[in-house]
Amino acid sequence: MTEANKHHEHESRVNIQGVEIALGFPDVLNFQWIGQRDVMEQLLASWLVIDDDDIPLNPRLIGKPGVGKTTLAYAGAKSLEKDVYIFQCTMDTRPEDLLITPVVDETGGIRYVASPLVTAMIRGGVCILDEANRMSEKSWASLAPLLDTRRYIDSIVAGLKIQADPGFRICVTMNDDASTFEIPEYIHSRLQPQIYLDFPEADEERRILRENLPFVDDNIMDYVVAFLQRSHAGNENYTVRDGINIARYAAKRIKSLNAVDERNIENLLRQAIVMTLGDEALEHVL
């Protein structure tokens, strides 16, 4: 075990080479993966270590917004009984945001705070870099040694080199239609394999809706699933996340108005679609 890892699992601070680092806490979310089993198997295989000389891979989950990339990564990590640390990437993410940030404490002194990524490295958890294709090359460059056989980061701010715990795993999610920066080739080659997530089939979509909205009437579910399936066939980017919002709002409207007439209920469902996605979405309503 490295010096960085000699701490209790639930401590919020750790001393590394004489520098005290405040660690973050894992994300605890009510995420259930309901979908293609093959992509879960692909993810777990990429994290598998099959020999003392082997290292885990750094998978890249690619798909349209809302298809469940983060949910898949979270559920995969929890199936391995690992804590999960999510870092939301933006175009303003700096290298120090990804690694260790200095902050002024209540005494006026400087203390160092580990990012979710570095916390996961130290604790042997899983880090999800969410929407990672929004980051600039400068931020990616700080992760290059972590994503190859070296498996460490250099924090210039704290003056530390931190080795990843052997249990550490990482994956990144990328929207295939929302890249802000071009990912440099030397990073692309470190983010393998590429795992593609597509829209779920109707049965899976209905199960996802039911998991998220157990209190919503079956007729609403059927209407929303049929709408989503027609949208997918029409190459629209509407996702199950949109469907959840439509069904949730429609159920609230129907409840608030005590609507019981089928025609009124359908009008409220159409209204929920328009208010969620806009008038153009009605093209996919029968």
Residues in the chain predicted with pLDDT less than 70, given as ranges, are 1-11, 177-180
Same domain for 128 and 186? Answer: yes
Single pTM value for the model: 0.84
Of 196, 220, 237, the domain-final residue:
196
CATH number for 13? 3.40.50.300
Q: Answer for the pair 161, 121: CB distance below 8 angstroms, yes or no.
A: no
> Which tokens sit at 106?
């209540």
Q: Which of 167, 196, 225 is the last residue before a domain boundary?
A: 196
- Side chain identity, residue 75: A
pLDDT at 108: 77
What residue numbers bound the domain in which 210 lies?
A: 202-284
Cα separation, 8 vs 188, in Å, equals 35
Residue 262's pLDDT is 83
* Same domain for 109 and 26: yes
pLDDT of residue 5: 44
User: What pLDDT is attached to residue 214?
Assistant: 94
Q: Are residues 242 and 160 in the same domain?
A: no
Q: Are residues 83 and 42 in the same domain?
A: yes
Provide the pLDDT for residue 32: 78
Rounded-to-integer distance, Cα 64 and Cα 253, Å: 29
Per-residue pLDDT, 178? 54
Reported in sequence order, the residue ranges of 32-120 that DSSP labels E, i.e. its strands, are 60-63, 84-88, 100-104, 110-114
In what order do the strands lie in the sheet containing 13-16? Answer: 13-16, 19-22, 110-114, 100-104
* Predicted local confidence at residue 3, as pLDDT: 43
**Domain endpoint, select from 144, 163, 196:** 196
HSE value, Cβ hemisphere, 13 Å, CA-based, for 210:
11
Query: How many separate domains does the chain show?
Result: 2
Q: Which residues pair with 114 in a beta bridge?
A: 100
Whether the CB-CB separation of 169 and 217 falls below 8 Å is answered with: no
Residues in CB range of 71: below 8 A, 6 or more apart: 31, 32, 33
